[in-house]
Amino acid sequence: MFDKFKQMKQLIDLQNQMKQEKAEVERNGVKVVVNGKMEVEEVRLNQQMAPQDQERIVKDCINEAAKQVQMKMASKMSNMPGFGL
């Protein structure tokens, strides 16, 4: 039973650590920053690009940043006792 509480505390600690993480992806002057809670913190557009190109790149940047955050979380979890992948 205490192992479950210990794992719960580890997960809460991981969640708090992940809040501090950020992933930044920039392509063709379009930049997106996503935090560890998977919230978009910043979007910078390239005004010299056509709107449809910007939309595509923003979508790609958000998806890539989300993948980076997920990988960081998976890496941290794999180093936690009892959560090894």
What pLDDT, in 10s, does the model give residues 37-76? 889 999 999 999 999 999 999 999 999 999 999 998 888 8
* Total-model pTM: 0.75
- Interval 17-45: pLDDT, tens: 778 889 999 999 999 999 988 899 999 99
Question: How would you classify the pairing of strands 30-35 and 40-44?
Answer: antiparallel
